[in-house]
Structure formats: C-alpha cells, structure tokens
Structure 1
Amino acid sequence: MTQKLRIGLDIRDLRIAKTGSKTYLEEIYHQFKSGNYDCDLVYFDTSFAVYTGRFKLLKLVEHIRFIIWKQVILPIKARINHVDILFCTDYFVPYFTPGFKAIPVFYDAFFYEYSSHYNSSWLKLFKWIGVNAAKKAPLIITITEYTRNRISHFTGIHKDKIKAIHLAPKKMAVAEPEPGYVPSFSMPSSKFILHVGTLEKRKNLVRLIEAFKLIHLAGHTDYSLVLVGQPSPKHDMDDSEAIHETIHRLGLKDHVITTGYASDNDLAYFYKYAEMYVFPSINEGFGLPVLEAFHHQIPVIVSDNTCLPEVGGDATLCFDPFNVEDISLKIRELIETPGLRQELIQKGTKRLKLFSWEKNTQELIKTFQSAVNKF
C-alpha cells in the first residue's frame, strides 16, 4: 500500500500577506482544510505576533525573525513532523531540508523587473537566500506560463523545474451584494467601466483615464469610470498622484470615482453592475480580476501583453496598453456593438470553467507526489 503523502503548509504569511499572495494562501489553506484530498496536512505557524508597521528598527527585527523562522524553526518543525513536502507560498523556502523536500511559489519576476521598487537589502536577501534555496528545490510553482518563462529568464532556473498552475477567482470577489444594498459611493451614472487593483504605475491607469476622456469626447458621456483600489504602500511604485492629476487636468472629477478601500459589499456591487471590465496593465503575474469579471458576466477588455491573453483567451478583447487611441477604440467597439458584448460574456462564462481552486489543489498534490517519487 502506498504511503499517504504528508504535506506541511507554512501559514505564517496569513498574518501579513496582501492582495494576490494572500488570496492564494487563503484558498489553498481552505482547500486543504476541507479534507477532500487524499493526503495528510500539517500547518506551521509562528506563536509570535508579526510586526507590520513602518518603524524601521522594528521592521529590521521582523526581517531577522523571518529569516530565523524560514531557515531554522520551519525546517525543524518539518523534520519533527515527518513531512514529505514543505510548501511555502511566499517565495522563500529553507536552504537546508533534512528529510523532506521544500517547494516555493513564485508569483512573478517583479524582484528583477522592478528592482528599484524594493528595499536593496531585502532584494539582496531574496537573491542570496530565496533564489538559491529555490534552485535547490525539486520544483517551483508559479501561476502562468508567462511567469514561468520570466522566472526562468531572470533566475537561470531551467523551465523544466518550474510548474505553472493557474489560479481561480477569490471567493470574496465573486460574492453577490446583499439584497437592496446601495454602495457607499455616490455613483455619477448607472453605466460604468470597472477596474480593480492597487494604484501602481504598472497598472497603467493614467492611460485608461485618458482613453476614457476620448470616450466622452465621442459622445458616450453617460459612462463613468470606477477605479477600486488603494495607493501602493511603496512610494516608487505608487501612481495615485498622477492618477488624480490626470482626472483633474481632463475635467473628469465628476465622472471618475477612486474608491480607495472598498468593502466586500461595495466590491460585489461594482462587479455585478459594471458594463465592462478594462485591464490596461503593462505587467501582471496572473490577473485574477479577469476571472472575477467572467464570473459576474461582465465583458472584459485587456492589454495584449504579459499573461493577460493567456488567462483571458478568446473571451477577451485586446488592445495595445501603450496606445491610448487603441484602448479607447476597443472600449467604443464594445459600447457600440451589442452583439460583441453578449459574445464575450458567453465566452467568458465558458472559459471560467477551466479555472477552480479544486483543480489547482489537485494539480498541486499531483506535482508534490511527482517530486517525492522523482527526486
């Protein structure tokens, strides 16, 4: 009889993770907790509170504690609990793995592509410990073929050691608003274009706003633009100042809503009632809002680069994200062609069936089993 696979999951990151990485760990954690999979699970967490403030000395102390957790405490726990696989969803795995195999998740190659946006000491630590430990791992998990290629390109790790497993929509973003719910934001019109994501430069929102101005100049003044998301906590990455300057320069302050943080009900409302979702990003690791928009039967328009065509497939309309005119033309095409709108909705509903957290977890377990048997 084959021994049941024993997986250790590092859940310390649930205390500090944000956006996509938090979604990933939460969803995988809930899948494993469901007991629907033929494996044994052990969860590893720290007993100490994790500091998430901005005081430099305490941040330094927390970084040291993180290293001790990853490189000392976690491998000891994994060894004591006799796990076959230690799964870490935050890029970092232990360098030494006595009696078990460690597999990390790399969501993107931003540490290389936007190196100036990261603390130089943390970046050195990532490359020195994180990348070298990943090179020792039997496999690395990533989330799209695009990121697989980028990670291989920058790290020198052969693509055969990198496995791409697609994500799925997060539960919060596919929920329905409560009956009769009215958003806490004043909506300038019943028709609106939606974007959800942090206000980072790579999101390319200034060009989206400029394209939206062209939509108004073309006569579609009954549309507004809703930008859901908070400013980036990293100054070099944040684009909120340029976004607000563009809104005022183009005279759109009564037509563009920047919501900042949106409650679950607000987010559900926006997804449910948006006329379309526009994703103008110039670099993404996956692009979960594409699937969330599919779920809510919203037609989706995306940039024609990075991973977005891979995720959206033929269910999206694509544009050149560096060309404001092209962004505007694709939005107008969707507004002025009702048949196209319905076609994209139908294709999106069909494509969404390819993505689920159950499939993701099943593929993870198969990959773990392969790593145990092969290496």
Structure 2
Amino acid sequence: MKVLFEPETFSIQDFGGVSRYFFELIDNAGPELTCELPVVLSNNLYLRDRRHTRHLGLLPGVPVPGNWRLMQFANRRAARRAIARQNFDVFHPTMNDQTWFLELLGDKPFVITIHDMIPALFGQYYQSPDTALQELVSRAARIITVSENTKADVLRLLPVPAERVTVVHHGHTSRHYPYEARVPTPDSYLLYTGNRRAYKNFGCLVTAFGQLHKHSPGLHLVCAGGGAFTPYEQHELRHAGIAEHTHQMGYLTDGQLNHLYHGARAFVFPSEYEGFGFPILEAFGQHCPAVLSNASCFPEIAHDAALYFNPHDPDDLHEQLDRVLHDRALRQILTRRGQGRVLDFTWARTVADTHRVYEEAREDATAVTY
C-alpha cells in the first residue's frame, strides 16, 4: 500500500497540531505502508532531520512575511508531478481548504482527515464559509475524524453518510529530552498552552486566576505559545491584578515544553471547543494534573483523569483550581489516572487504524473499477 500525501500543511506550518499529526503518520508507518511526501521547501520542525524528505529550508528562523507562498508554490508543483505519475494507491491531503487536486486524481481514491468543525461552529471568527470542505466530503472515499465528538459534528453539519466516517484518535509522542535547556520559570505556576484567541476562552482563565491570586499570591500563570500578549490582553491582566504574575514564553522546543508541563502545579485548558486536544496527553505524559472545560471532546479524551469546569463560569474554574492546588491526595489520583489514560493513545494504533481506512478506500475504488 502506497499513500501520497499532499504537502500543504508543511508549507504553512513551522510546527503545530496538523503538521505534527501527518508527520507522525509517516514516521510511524510500518513496512506494509509506504508514504510519499513531495516537499521541496519547508521550515517545518518535524521534518528537520530529513529522514522522509530531501527538502530545503527557506530562511528558517527568519521572520519573512509571505515566505510560505513560495514554499506553497514549489511544493504544490512537486505534488502535481507526483500525482501525474499515478504511483500510489490512496491520496491524503494535509489540508481541507483546497480542491485543486481533484481534477488530477483520475480514478485514485482519496481520504481526508477532519480535525474539527471550528469554522462552521464559530463562523463569526471566519471571513468566508468553508466551501472547499463541502466539496471534499462529497467526493472523498473515506473521512477520518479525530474524536467521536468531531464525528458527531461532521454528521450533523455536513451531508455525509455515517458509514464513510471513521474515528481515529491521535497518539501520544513519548519521547525524552534529557539534555534540553530548561526555560526559567517561577517556583509555583499554572500552565496554559497554545494560542489564546476567540473560542480558546482565555478570558475565563484570566478572571479565575485573578480570584485565585488573591489567596495564593505566590502562584503564577505561564502561557506557552500564542505570541506576545495583545494590548487588550495586557489591559485585562492589569484589570485582574495579575499582570506581574502572568508570563508569556516565546518559541519552545518539545523538550522545553515537556519541562514546563512537568514543573506545573496544573495544566489548564479552558477552550470552548477542540477537535482532539493534544495538550491533554502532553500533560498526562508529564505527570501534570489537568483542569479542563467540560466542552466538546475533553471528557472523551481525558475520562476521569482530569477535573472539569463550566467554560462559561470563571467561579467554577476558580473552585476546581483551588481543589487541585490544595488537595495533595487529589493531585496524586489525577496524576496516576493520567499516566494510565495516556497509554491508550499510541501512534502505532493511530497508524494501524488509519491503514485500515486506506485499505477500505482502495477496495471501494477497485470494486468501482471492475
């Protein structure tokens, strides 16, 4: 079985959940699954060892506006050539916002992965409807969703039969980075990771931490990723009285991020919606108690290994944070459960389940051909 991956996400992402997912699919593929990723220009960090590609970087580490367009042009041209050779069984695009390849595939089947339905559910934050996804789901041989919650949203919002949709959970990358330089951190801190815009619901955490800080003045909030605080965020932090105790970290390596999880008193995820929630497994893997909103896929992924709160109620979040900070036995229980829960998510299982979806897509295409 040979799968051709369209390389779009590796043109536009230096790092991130989507490119990480596709890298792990390729990196963990066994001998029965051959993968081709036609990338010629990329600054993606997961590809930096070039074990799966022979690409060049384009001023890596230098913030050049729009350099992704040149990478996109070069990689899309390489993908067109790979499709024209027709030397693959199944095609798997890495993004769902384009349809240029449909006219080139011929009889070859393709599979798409839907990571979430955020553009449809939070349309107020997006400039235009996701018409490309509508066309892709109507023509895809199979559709993968990364959680049962996302599958339910897909079936509710898109005209697709349930038998063509398969849930395949992400895996957890269990790697150790003993020689990574640690970033300086406060002695006692809560951890928030990722961007903070819109449905991420960062304001709920700001309010709850402001309440908590009055009784725990030595506690800090560390934010990893997401860029510098905006003027509005700075105003809100000052208003809550926590500006001096809230810290934004710049770019972090995987090893440095692991150290942050390991040293945190708790990881907090207040988002109103996620397709899967990679950081939950990252926290569990580093023995960090997790406090999660009770929205979307979070209970599906974490089960009883986390505390939950209403994402629209900062008082509820304050209460759960107070519990996890001051109840040592509870922290130990959550840590132990998290260690057990993360074992259910492996990339080997993800690849095996995805391989079965590819086989189904190929068998359907063969049946139609004959």
Regarding TM over 0.5, the answer is: yes
Matched letter for residue 44 of structure 1: P
SS of 1:41's partner is strand
SS of 1:86's partner is strand
Of the candidates 1, 6, 18, which is equivalent to residue 2 of structure 2? Answer: 6
| Counterpart position of 1:86 | 91
Shift of the 198–46 alpha-carbon distance from structure 1 to 2, 3 Å rule, reads: same
TM-superposed CA distance for 1:13, in Å, is 2.7
SS of 1:314's partner is coil
* Contact 1:200–1:231 (8 Å) recurs in 2: no
Q: Distance in 2 between matches of 1:158 and 1:270?
A: 42
Q: Distance in 1 between matches of 2:65 and 2:123?
A: 20
Q: Distance in 1 between matches of 2:256 and 2:68?
A: 33
Of the candidates 301, 314, 331, which is equivalent to residue 324 of structure 1? Answer: 314
Matched letter for residue 198 of structure 2: K
1:273-302 alpha-carbon deviations (Å, 9 max, x no partner): 111111111111111010000000111110
Q: Distance in 2 between matches of 1:276 and 1:47?
A: 39
Matched letter for residue 29 of structure 1: I
Matched letter for residue 187 of structure 2: S
CA RMSD of aligned residues (A): 2.9
SS of 2:217's partner is coil
Of the candidates 210, 215, 221, which is equivalent to residue 213 of structure 1? Answer: 210
* Contact 1:95–1:132 (8 Å) recurs in 2: no
SS of 2:212's partner is helix
1:133 equivalenced with 2:136 (yes/no): yes
Q: Distance in 1 between matches of 2:216 and 2:57?
A: 49
TM-score by length of 1: 0.82
1:159 equivalenced with 2:155 (yes/no): no
Q: Distance in 1 between matches of 2:27 and 2:12?
A: 17
Q: Unaligned stretches of 5+ in structure 1?
A: 233-238
1:143-187 alpha-carbon deviations (Å, 9 max, x no partner): 11111121222222223222221112346xx544537x452x4x4
| Counterpart position of 2:179 | 178
Shift of the 271–38 alpha-carbon distance from structure 1 to 2, 3 Å rule, reads: same
| Counterpart position of 1:95 | 102
SS of 1:101's partner is coil
* Contact 2:294–2:311 (8 Å) recurs in 1: yes
Please list, as runs of the form range in 1=range in 2, the aligned pairs for 1:238-257 lying within 5 A after superposition. 240-257=230-247
Identical-pair percentage: 20
TM-superposed CA distance for 1:266, in Å, is 3.4
| Counterpart position of 1:235 | none
TM-superposed CA distance for 1:108, in Å, is 1.1
1:300 equivalenced with 2:290 (yes/no): yes
Q: Distance in 1 between matches of 2:41 and 2:222?
A: 41
1:30-53 alpha-carbon deviations (Å, 9 max, x no partner): 223xxx231333333357999996
TM-superposed CA distance for 1:206, in Å, is 1.5
Structure 1 runs of 4+ with >6 Å offset: 47-52, 58-63
TM-score by length of 2: 0.83
| Counterpart position of 2:332 | 342
Q: Distance in 1 between matches of 2:254 and 2:108?
A: 40
SS of 1:254's partner is helix
SS of 1:15's partner is helix
